[in-house]
RNA sequence: CGGUGAGUGGCGCAGCUUGGUAGCGCACCUGGUUUGGGUCCAGGGGGUCGUAGGUUCGAAUCCUAUCUCACCGACCA
């Protein structure tokens, strides 16, 4: 491709709206343009990258035994009513009507369509397992699209759906897809981590997310420094810090005027915050005889709302009690609450239970207890895991300690079980001739999001640094002063033709621009190698090739160049 | 949905308080100059000032309504 016949579309200035680096660079490098909130046009350079990512994903899917299909973007609303998601999915599901006033949706995902397909096409266990996938545009009407391509409303996703006669078969395919996902991210050249993801709401189901590690990620990932354990902080298990032990101190009431926060108490009583516990009051579940439940955490820990919501006693979604209601019920405000002598159910975090002789509110304004102990001073309570893990916690698998990093979710795999096959009655005849519902798995990769995530991970002050695997071009020819030098032009043209002939993705910058302009544009776009052709080196029969990532320049004989480029990674 | 801020040429912005012929930088076009890291000079084209209504002799500027966008939060995966 010649730049003179291409839509390069680079920009010097960053549009004001671009917040994250990938968004800024994608706009400046001429990869995408915004059409409306969360909607982007992909320009030639961006599309080249997108297509390369898609090709790798497709290849790994095929290798893993998945079969490609293509389903409609527009789906009948009836299917969503059937699965129950017409009501459950909420406003993120964009609903439209056709000319006959029938309901349709723009597909945010395709469980309904694919289940409907398989229900009609598959009738025998002999046809299983089956794994179908597509690479296709999805639409989710996000409340707040942001970070450019990272969280847009329209995006491209690879979604696969597998169908099985039993859980064992599902698990086999699940493991195969897990491996295929690892292969994809390794081939692209991203630093990533598979993490344990939410599995609670569908009961017994298994789920993993794949995260590209980057500081701008929206998720916190906890991982072990000594094993493969990694989980989203939302659900990483927090194990007890130390043993439960009996204390020796006397339960003592102390005055703590004005001290309403844990920090203030610790300062006032000159103790470690780890010696305190804090008590939070939340709404109880409707089925409970109580209105409120008390949650007790060690002073320095924070509540994990996802874990708490899963407890039967607690209302879901989680609702914190308001202070006026707490005062009416318990006769004191937030700052002086404690588990001793409380008239509502008490749930204690595992690590809070290990604190002996602790300090807590006395349920009287401006007073606290010191030397409090479980069992002795608080008779009835339940111990649960209700806090967020923090860096330095022991890993739940018993190996090493946890560290926390930011991640961008680029893949999510899930053992669905029979959720959809049951709702839509999708089954087959088994070996014994009886009708059985299918077990399903679903597996998503955000193809467009990978492009943005790759940039978040690979950039410098000059622009993007593409891994060779997904670079829009493998190499760019930058001629110096070609419009004056017949020799430069001749060498550049010949090299361009030779590279095209051997199938290298080459860009030839034949614009009548100053060298600096060309260098800057090509570094911004992030092409892995630049071949600089100038009279200065041609006089010695040499050509310079520069590595975008390392900045390293190599001088080569003109005659050896073609071979050298063909052998580049 | 709540809070905050912004809509002026393709992009980045000034002008608005105090109403009076719409400006700057980048980009673009022409000519010259320069040519191994975003040259310099001269000339030029392009804007219903988000939209609608109002006040006024006169509105980018004041008033009202409305739309859009961004950021923070909530929500979602």
Residue-wise DSSP of A263-281: HHHHHHTT--GGGBEEEEE
State how far the Cα of A282 lies from the Cα of A285, in Å rounded to an integer: 10
Neighbour tally for A48: CB within 10 Å: 18
Strand B-proximal residues of A, range 420-449, CB below 7 A, are none
Of A180-184, A283-287, A469-473, the range with the lowest mean pLDDT is A283-287
CA A547 to C1' B27, in angstroms, rounded, equals: 29
What is the structure's pLDDT at A199? 55
> Is A145 within 7 A of strand B by CB distance?
yes
Q: Which two tokens stand for residue A160?
A: 């696969």
Closest nucleotide to the alpha carbon of A109, via C1':
B77
> Is A91 within 7 A of strand B by CB distance?
no
CA A130 to C1' B4, in angstroms, rounded, equals: 52
Question: Where in chain A are all domains bearing CATH 3.30.930.10?
Answer: 13-235+403-455
> What's the pTM?
0.89
> Is A143 within 7 A of strand B by CB distance?
yes
CA A521 to C1' B32, in angstroms, rounded, equals: 26
At A200, the pLDDT band (50, 70, 90 cuts) reads: very low
Cβ atoms of A438 and A421 closer than 8 Å: yes
Residue pLDDT, tens place only, A459-468: 999 999 999 9
CA A424 to C1' B77, in angstroms, rounded, equals: 23
- Residue A544 host element (H or E): strand A542-547
Closest nucleotide to the alpha carbon of A523, via C1':
B37
pLDDT mean over A519-546? 96
Closest nucleotide to the alpha carbon of A17, via C1':
B70
Closest nucleotide to the alpha carbon of A39, via C1':
B69
> Is A535 within 7 A of strand B by CB distance?
yes
Q: How many CA atoms lie within 13 A of A384 on its CB side?
A: 22
State how far the Cα of A109 lies from the Cα of A464, in Å rounded to an integer: 31
Question: Where in chain A are all domains bearing CATH 3.90.960.10?
Answer: 252-384
CA A458 to C1' B46, in angstroms, rounded, equals: 38
Cα A487 to chain centroid distance, Å, stands at 51
Most confidently predicted of A297-306, A395-404, A420-429: A420-429
pLDDT above 80 (res A198) = no
Closest nucleotide to the alpha carbon of A15, via C1':
B11
H helices of A413-483, where? 419-423, 447-457
Q: Which CATH architecture has domain A13-235+403-455?
A: 2-Layer Sandwich (3.30)
pLDDT above 70 (res A249) = yes
pLDDT above 50 (res A408) = yes
CA A11 to C1' B24, in angstroms, rounded, equals: 19
Q: Which CATH architecture has domain A252-384?
A: Alpha-Beta Complex (3.90)
CA A147 to C1' B16, in angstroms, rounded, equals: 32
Q: What is the predicted ipTM?
A: 0.90
Q: Does domain A475-568 have CATH number 3.40.50.300?
A: no
Neighbour tally for A468: CB within 10 Å: 18
Cβ atoms of A554 and A543 closer than 8 Å: no
DSSP annotation string for A61-93:
HHHTT-EE----SEEEHHHHHHHTHHHHSGGGS
Question: Where in chain A are all domains bearing CATH 3.40.50.800?
Answer: 475-568
Closest nucleotide to the alpha carbon of A37, via C1':
B69
Strand B bases contacted by the protein (CB, 7 Å): 1, 11-13, 25-27, 34-39, 68-77
Pairing between β-strand A67-68 and β-strand A130-139 as defined by DSSP bridges: parallel
CA A9 to C1' B42, in angstroms, rounded, equals: 28
Cα A481 to chain centroid distance, Å, stands at 46
CA A13 to C1' B23, in angstroms, rounded, equals: 20
Cβ atoms of A60 and A183 closer than 8 Å: yes
Residue pLDDT, tens place only, A440-459: 999 999 999 999 999 999 99
Cβ atoms of A338 and A369 closer than 8 Å: yes
Closest nucleotide to the alpha carbon of A90, via C1':
B76
Residue pLDDT, tens place only, A265-309: 888 898 998 999 999 888 888 888 888 899 999 988 888 888 888
Of A120-124, A172-176, A321-325, the range with the lowest mean pLDDT is A321-325
* 3-class DSSP string for A150-218: HECCEEEEEEEEEEECCHHHHHHHHHHHHHHHHHHHHHHCCCEEEEECCCCCCCCCCEEEEEEECCCCC
> Is A540 within 7 A of strand B by CB distance?
no
A260 burial level (CB within 10 Å; 0-12, 13-18, 19+): middle
At A569, the pLDDT band (50, 70, 90 cuts) reads: low
CA A35 to C1' B5, in angstroms, rounded, equals: 22
State how far the Cα of A23 lies from the Cα of A32, in Å rounded to an integer: 9
State how far the Cα of A277 lies from the Cα of A273, in Å rounded to an integer: 8
Closest CA to A458 of A8, A15, A21: A21
> Is A460 within 7 A of strand B by CB distance?
no
Strand B-proximal residues of A, range 349-408, CB below 7 A, are none
């Amino acid at each position: 491709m010649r730049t003179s016949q291409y839509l390069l579309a680079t920009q010097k200035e960053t549009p004001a709206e671009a917040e994250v680096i990938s968004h800024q660079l994608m706009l400046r490098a001429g990869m995408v343009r915004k059409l409306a909130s969360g909607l982007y046009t992909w320009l030639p350079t961006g599309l080249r990258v997108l297509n390369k990512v898609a090709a790798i994903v497709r290849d790994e899917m095929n290798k893993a035994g998945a079969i490609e299909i293509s389903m409609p973007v527009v789906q009948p609303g009836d299917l969503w009513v059937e699965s129950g998601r017409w009501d459950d999915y909420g406003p993120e599901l964009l609903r439209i009507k056709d000319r006959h006033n029938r309901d349709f949706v723009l597909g945010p995902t395709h469980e309904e369509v694919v289940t409907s397909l398989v229900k009609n096409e598959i009738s025998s266990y002999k046809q299983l397992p089956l794994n179908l996938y597509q690479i296709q545009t999805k639409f989710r009407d996000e409340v707040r699209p942001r970070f450019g391509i990272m969280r847009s409303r329209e995006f491209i996703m690879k979604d696969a759906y597998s169908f099985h006669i039993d859980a064992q078969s599902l698990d086999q395919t699940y493991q195969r897809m897990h491996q295929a996902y690892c292969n994809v991210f390794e081939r692209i050249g991203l630093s990533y981590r598979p993490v344990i993801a939410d599995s609670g709401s569908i009961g017994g189901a298994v789920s993993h997310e794949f995260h590209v590690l980057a500081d701008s990620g929206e998720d916190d990932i906890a991982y072990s420094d000594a094993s493969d354990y990694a989980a989203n902080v939302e659900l990483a298990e927090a194990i007890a810090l130390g043993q439960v032990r009996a204390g020796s101190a006397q339960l003592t009431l102390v005055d703590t005027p004005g001290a309403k926060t844990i920090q203030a108490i610790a300062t006032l009583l000159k103790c470690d915050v780890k010696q305190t516990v804090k008590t939070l009051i939340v709404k109880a579940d409707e089925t409970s005889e109580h209105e409120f439940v008390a949650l007790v955490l060690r002073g320095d820990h924070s509540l994990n709302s996802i874990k708490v919501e899963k407890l039967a006693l607690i209302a879901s979604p989680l609702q914190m009690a308001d202070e006026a209601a707490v005062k009416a019920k318990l006769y004191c405000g937030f700052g002086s609450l404690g588990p001793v002598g409380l008239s509502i159910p008490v749930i204690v975090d595992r690590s809070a239970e290990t604190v002996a002789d602790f300090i807590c509110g006395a349920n009287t304004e401006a007073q606290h207890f010191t030397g409090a102990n479980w069992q002795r001073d608080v008779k009835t309570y339940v111990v649960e895991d209700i806090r967020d893990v923090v860096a330095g916690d022991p890993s739940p698998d018993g190996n090493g300690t946890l560290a926390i990093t930011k991640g961008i979710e680029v893949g999510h795999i899930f053992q669905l079980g029979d959720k959809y096959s049951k709702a839509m009655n999708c089954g087959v005849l088994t070996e014994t001739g009886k009708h059985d519902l299918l077990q399903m798995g679903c597996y998503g990769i955000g193809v467009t999001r990978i492009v943005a995530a790759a940039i978040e991970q690979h950039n410098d002050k000059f622009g993007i640094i593409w891994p060779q695997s997904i670079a829009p071009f493998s190499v760019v020819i930058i001629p110096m002063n070609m419009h004056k030098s017949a020799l430069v032009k001749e060498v550049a043209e010949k090299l361009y033709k030779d590279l095209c002939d051997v199938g290298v993705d080459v860009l030839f910058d034949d614009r009548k621009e100053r060298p600096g302009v060309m260098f800057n544009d090509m570094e911004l776009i992030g092409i892995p190698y630049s071949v600089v052709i100038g009279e200065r080196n041609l006089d010695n029969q040499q050509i310079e090739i520069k590595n975008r990532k390392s900045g390293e320049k190599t001088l080569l004989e003109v005659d050896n160049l073609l071979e050298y480029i063909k052998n580049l990674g």
